[in-house]
């Protein structure tokens, strides 16, 4: 899909990977990028960056675990811009600094609701607006953690494995709705989510040896892959990893 002139929604766009994707979509010529997040002030900062990159920006405060809020997001986007072509289902949370199984039960439930239910319902609600717009591309953010056991973040990786399987099972939506659903599985990316696994802004102790041994990715590295998947006409059902590479010797 040519991104020029298209309408996009990015969830979790206030910071990190979502912010980088929102800006990248604007740089690629999107007409408008709708920023859906629970953090309003940071979303406004993303909006400024999107406008500076040449696109219209609209902040719609949205909790992706709230079905009515998601309905409002899609309704307002179509009403305001007359269509929808691109969705990056990116909002996500993890156990934070309290590992499984001591993570509070409400937090464990919220991880499922944001990371998995938010992606599933977001995809479902995007289908009709995208069909009316002549088709679209949805890119979900999973994680490299989807493919390996990670005991301190057991809930998080379970939801990310679910996103992978959901994405693959959405392959036929290309034929039925003209919508390509794919997902990106990042390794460790330098964002607040990683810092919030520990205390005092430092990644959790269990994560530090891995971080020390690899090149940590930048949010822009993931945004570039999202752009590729949006463009690629063969991306339906694709699950693409952006892995960390080992640190160069002496680095």
Ligand X SMILES: NC(=O)c1ccc[n+]([C@@H]2O[C@H](COP(=O)([O-])OP(=O)(O)OC[C@H]3O[C@@H](n4cnc5c(N)ncnc54)[C@H](O)[C@@H]3O)[C@@H](O)[C@H]2O)c1
By the rule CB under 6 A, 90 interacts with ligand X: yes
By CB under 6 A, is residue 143 in contact with ligand X?
yes
- Which of 8, 24, 38, 73 is the binder for ligand X (CB under 6 A)? 38
* 11 neighbors 61 (Cβ within 8 angstroms): no
Structure tokens at 30: 């999107």
Answer left, alpha or beta for residue 243, where phi above 0 means left and psi between -120 and 50 means alpha: beta
Catalytic annotation on 171? no
CB atoms within 10 A of CB 128: 14
Choice between 90 and 182, CB closer to ligand X: 90
Number of residues in contact with ligand X under rule CB under 6 A: 28
Cβ proximity to ligand X, 90 vs 133, nearer residue: 90
Nearest distance in Å: CB 114, ligand X: 4
Compare residues 2 and 192 and give the one whose CB is closer to ligand X.
Answer: 192
Contacts with ligand X by CB under 6 A lie at 11-12, 14-18, 37-39, 62-65, 90-93, 114, 141, 143, 186, 188-189, 191-194
Residues classed as catalytic = 156
């Amino acid at each position: 899909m040519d991104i020029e002139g298209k309408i996009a929604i990015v969830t979790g766009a206030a910071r990190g990977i979502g912010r980088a994707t929102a800006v990248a979509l604007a740089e690629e010529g999107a007409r408008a990028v709708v920023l859906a997040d629970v953090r309003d002030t940071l979303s406004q900062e993303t909006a400024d960056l999107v406008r500076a990159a040449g696109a219209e920006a609209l902040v719609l405060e949205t909790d992706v675990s709230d079905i009515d809020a998601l309905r409002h997001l899609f309704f307002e986007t179509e009403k305001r811009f007359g269509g929808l072509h691109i969705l990056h289902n990116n909002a996500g949370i993890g156990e934070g600094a309290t590992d499984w199984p001591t993570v509070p039960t409400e937090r464990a439930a919220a991880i499922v609701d944001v990371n998995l239910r938010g992606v599933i319902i977001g995809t479902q609600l995007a289908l009709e607006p995208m069909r009316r717009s002549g088709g679209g591309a949805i890119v979900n953010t999973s994680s490299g953690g989807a493919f390996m056991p990670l005991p301190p973040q057991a809930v998080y990786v379970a939801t990310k494995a679910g996103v992978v399987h959901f994405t693959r099972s959405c392959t036929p939506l290309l034929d039925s709705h003209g919508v390509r659903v794919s997902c990106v599985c990042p390794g460790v990316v330098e964002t607040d989510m990683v810092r919030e696994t520990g205390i005092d802004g430092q990644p959790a102790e269990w994560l530090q040896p891995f971080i020390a041994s690899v090149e940590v990715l930048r949010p822009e590295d993931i945004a570039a892959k999202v752009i590729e998947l949006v463009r690629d006409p063969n991306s339906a059902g694709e699950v693409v990893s952006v892995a960390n590479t080992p640190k160069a010797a002496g680095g």
